[in-house]
């Protein structure tokens, strides 16, 4: 054998080994992960034992992670940082304008992080993409976090911020006849709860709710997706137990409709919703259950599951379907917030 033949044989052998390794990382007992998700889980995302890390340290680590793995820079016309008054202290908000030429519909957005971590910076890229893509103003809300601030601090801040936008949004360029709420994970939970509360209290008129892999029922961890994807896919059931414990005053809070929106007694006459979930996510079943509950009550809802991906993929370029989910969200926002 000459040197070229030997070299080609070695290259082919190495390629086969790499192929088999990657296939083993992608293959799970419950299906096949997307290539990008498998690589992220293998090399980037590490399990976190949250019970041994103070919430303040978790927040530092989260911000450091976002700085280490940034998304491509997105420019919007204008960004302002402001506050919304509240009896419990001013609520910080960040407002994103795709342009400043006319009054525009608005999305009040709540970041994820299990009610424990996350802030205006960690959700910055998604807010820019939502504002630019849908041609709307996005008001990102920095609600109070647990465990320092227990339930109902987060929902109170989320609701008061939405109410303020509906009542005073015209002062900052918002067309207050067209307002949506949205959020991812714990933020999706808050968006659903705000919609329920607005109906119950005859509060702000909300045109649409964008619920990105929302937490909808912390009282039940026995759903199919929680059993299948209990651990190993970024978000674990142990994480969810930590988060609900951090946010709740007692276990009795788990049954309250603004903590577990799926348990509300009436889901009729709520804003139309787009509920999206990830295929390998413990929250998948409860997201689907919430979409089903809305539909059964006559509330218009679109549900979409993104196969092969994991929690936190929304809008992220490192995930195969992150940009697709963002495009879908943008399209639904345009449809429901159009002034025409």
* Residues tagged active-site: 185, 281, 311
Buried b / exposed e along 253-266 (16+ C-beta atoms within 10 A): bbebbbbbbbbbee
Q: Which two tokens stand for residue 316?
A: 């992220």
Measured N-to-C along each axis, helices 3-26 and 35-43 cross at an angle, to the nearest 10 degrees, of 90
Instruction: Give the Cβ contact number of residue 131 at 10 Å.
Output: 30
Residue 176's φ and ψ, nearest 5 degrees, are -75, 0
Which uninterrupted H or E stretch holds 195?
Answer: helix 186-200
Tokens of residue 112, six digits? 């994820």
Residue the block writes with tokens 């900052």: 172
Here the tokens at position 131 are 């504002």
Q: What does the alpha-carbon distance between residue 106 and residue 319 come to, in Å, rounded to a whole number? A: 27
Cα(334)–Cα(339) distance, integer angstroms: 9
Give the residue carrying structure tokens 């590490």: 46
Q: Hey, what long-range contacts does 64-73 have (CB within 8 A, 24 or more apart)?
A: 66/121, 66/122, 69/44, 69/318, 70/125, 71/125, 71/315, 71/316, 71/317, 72/317
């Amino acid at each position: 054998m000459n040197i070229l033949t030997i070299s080609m044989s070695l290259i082919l052998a190495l390629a086969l080994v790499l192929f088999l390794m990657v296939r083993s990382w992608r293959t799970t007992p419950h299906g096949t992960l997307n290539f990008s998700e498998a690589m992220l889980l293998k090399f980037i995302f590490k399990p976190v034992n949250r019970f041994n890390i103070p919430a303040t340290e978790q927040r530092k680590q989260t911000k450091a992670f976002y700085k280490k793995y940034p998304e491509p820079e997105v420019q919007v016309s204008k960004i302002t940082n402001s506050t919304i008054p509240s009896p419990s202290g001013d609520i910080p908000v960040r407002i994103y304008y795709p342009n400043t030429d006319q009054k525009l519909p608005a999305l009040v957005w709540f970041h994820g992080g299990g009610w424990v971590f996350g802030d205006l910076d960690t959700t910055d890229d998604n807010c820019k993409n939502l504002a630019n893509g849908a041609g709307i103003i996005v008001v990102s809300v920095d609600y109070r976090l647990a465990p320092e601030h227990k339930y109902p601090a987060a929902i109170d801040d989320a609701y008061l911020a939405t109410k303020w936008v509906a009542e005073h949004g015209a002062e900052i360029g918002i067309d207050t006849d067209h307002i949506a709420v949205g959020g991812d994970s714990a933020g999706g939970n808050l968006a659903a709860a705000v919609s329920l509360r607005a109906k119950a209290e005859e509060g702000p008129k909300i045109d649409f709710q964008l619920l990105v892999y929302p937490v909808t029922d912390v009282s039940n961890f026995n759903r199919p997706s929680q059993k299948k994807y209990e651990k190993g896919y970024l978000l674990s059931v142990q994480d969810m137990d930590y988060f609900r414990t951090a946010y709740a005053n007692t276990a009795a809070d788990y049954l309250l409709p603004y903590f577990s929106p799926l348990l509300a007694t009436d889901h009729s006459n709520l804003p139309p919703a787009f509920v999206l979930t990830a295929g390998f996510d413990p929250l998948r079943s409860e997201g689907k259950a919430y979409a089903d509950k809305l539909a059964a009550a006559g509330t218009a809802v679109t549900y979409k599951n993104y196969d092969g991906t994991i929690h936190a993929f929304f809008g992220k370029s490192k995930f195969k379907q992150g940009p697709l989910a963002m495009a879908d969200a943008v399209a639904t926002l345009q449809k429901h917030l159009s002034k025409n």
